[in-house]
Amino acid sequence: MIPVQGLNGAQVAVLGLGRSGLAAARALAAGGAVPICWDDNAEARARAEDEGFACADLKKAGAFDAIARLIVSPGIPHLYPAPNPVVAAALEAGVPVDNDIGLFFQSFATPDWDSFDVAPRVVAVTGSNGKSTTSALIHHILEHVGRPCQLAGNIGRGVLDLDPAVDAEVVVLELSSYQTDLARSLTPDVAVFTNLSPDHLDRHHGMGGYFAAKRRLFAEGGPDRAVIGVDEIEGRFLAGQLTEGRADDRVIRVSVDRKLTGPGWYVFARKGFLAEVRKGKQVAALDLRGVGGLPGAHNHQNACAAYAACRSLGLAPKVIEAAFHSFGGLPHRSQTIAEAGGVRFVNDSKATNVDSAAKALAAFKNVRWICGGLEKEGGLEGLADATGSVRKAYVIGREAAGFAMQLNVKADVCGTMASAVARATAEAEPGDVVLLAPAAASFDQYDSFERRGDDFAAQVEKALAHETRD
């Protein structure tokens, strides 16, 4: 645990008592603050009280009279589409609103660091797609070389649940737009922006607000090094804002769309090969085609971003390349879960928006595509040019029929995962890939994309067992 600094003796309200909220309460108490907790869910309050934390209804008049700060969990709206009533009350009372990410950056550095030979570093990764894989890959590379490291944030542990840093340690954080938008302190040593595509638009009041939330990671604290994906205009704009000129190598530009050249620092991948160019000269080249845990151009973008971040930490190209080959990928992200009769079954349940689904489709040939769920704002227009590899779609979800009507490929309306997997498995031929890439949220049928992916895996196991018996 990382004790929160700077709030000793202060009453600090904590709204939302899930993983990050409870971790924040513990860290506040460890630093000498007095947490005052609240969650609308009675069971969540009971869990907090079982740990000895006081709970008080923060919606009541005068609740913020003695409160120094309000800490808000990521899923709770603080601005759009409308602030949570507790957040609104804090703002009205003039109480600063923060989250666990802000507390982490406020508290991570300690006086112990004066005795370290090498100061700890923080690498923070954000973007629409690929940030989990990129974060996990950076962490894997660091583990591969024996560098002390921890992984947290929107993946794995809550940030305040981390252990205090040791000499030369690197903390890798995956940060969502919900987390970067509210944090009062954002001061990573290396900041990574993977890409931007429409997502969470209601929460951020459109693309401008969404990009602004991501941009805060680079604007608030000014990282020593920025790794920026420049395949979208937003990335190119951000890179331009952070540089003093073309030769400024504090920004490493990353692409999988085109070759990058010039006097700066660039990492790009084309046709399965990663290249690093610095000051107009190619200094390294890696073959990504045999890296099983990173299939497709979208994963090659993740590889480029992770490579650039690790190079900025001083790691050698060949060391990074060796680590790539031992990376197994993440669950629910282009994860091969079975192969039978020449057919590959791939779980990409994390492809919850149109852009990520399009990238998943581009990674494979002869796709039998399981898709559908709770459609996001913007519809499915972006998929029109991405379905060339699709032999047939099998649509799930409560609105499966409406979803299927928007597709430009032959589609079966299946409704349930069991039906979709059974049909796709029965019709698949050697060389086909049965791919779950929903292009939609899971909440019409599942409480998370993980549950959806687990159901896909279970249904594949069931379907293959049935075929074996037959």
Number of domains in the chain: 3
* Whether residues 83 and 137 fall in one domain: no
Range of the domain at 259: 103-325
* Whether residues 94 and 147 fall in one domain: no
Residue where a domain terminates, one of 275, 302, 325: 325
CA angle 102, 103, 109 (to 5 degrees): 105
pLDDT at residue number 333: 87
* Structure token digits, residue 320: 């990074």
Residue 93 belongs to a domain: yes
* Whether residues 254 and 159 fall in one domain: yes
* Whether residues 172 and 303 fall in one domain: yes
DSSP characters over 92-150: HHT--EE-HHHHHHHHS--GGGGG-SS--EEEEEE-SSSHHHHHHHHHHHHHHTT--EE
* Whether residues 81 and 109 fall in one domain: no
pLDDT at residue number 260: 95
pLDDT at residue number 155: 83
pLDDT at residue number 205: 87
DSSP characters over 271-313: TTEEEEEETTEEEEEEE-TT-TTS-HHHHHHHHHHHHHHHHHT
- Return phi, psi of residue 367, to 5°: -95, 130
* Whether residues 123 and 233 fall in one domain: yes
* Whether residues 392 and 293 fall in one domain: no
Instruction: Give the Cβ contact number of residue 340 at 10 Å.
Output: 14
pLDDT at residue number 469: 60
pLDDT at residue number 298: 87
pLDDT at residue number 296: 84
pLDDT, tens digit only, all 470 positions of the chain: 999 999 999 999 999 998 889 999 999 999 999 999 999 999 999 999 999 999 999 999 999 999 999 999 988 999 999 999 999 999 999 999 999 999 999 999 999 999 999 999 999 999 998 899 999 999 999 999 999 999 999 887 889 999 999 999 999 999 999 999 999 999 999 999 999 987 777 888 899 999 999 999 999 888 999 999 999 999 999 999 999 998 999 999 999 999 999 999 999 999 999 999 999 999 999 999 989 889 888 899 999 999 999 999 999 999 999 999 999 888 888 889 999 999 999 999 999 989 889 989 988 999 999 999 998 876 787 788 889 999 999 999 999 999 999 999 999 999 999 999 999 999 999 999 999 999 999 999 999 999 999 999 999 999 999 776 65
* Whether residues 53 and 38 fall in one domain: yes
Per DSSP, helices labelled H in 288-399 are 296-312, 317-325, 354-362
* Whether residues 49 and 197 fall in one domain: no
* Whether residues 64 and 91 fall in one domain: yes
pLDDT at residue number 156: 74
* pTM, to two decimals: 0.85
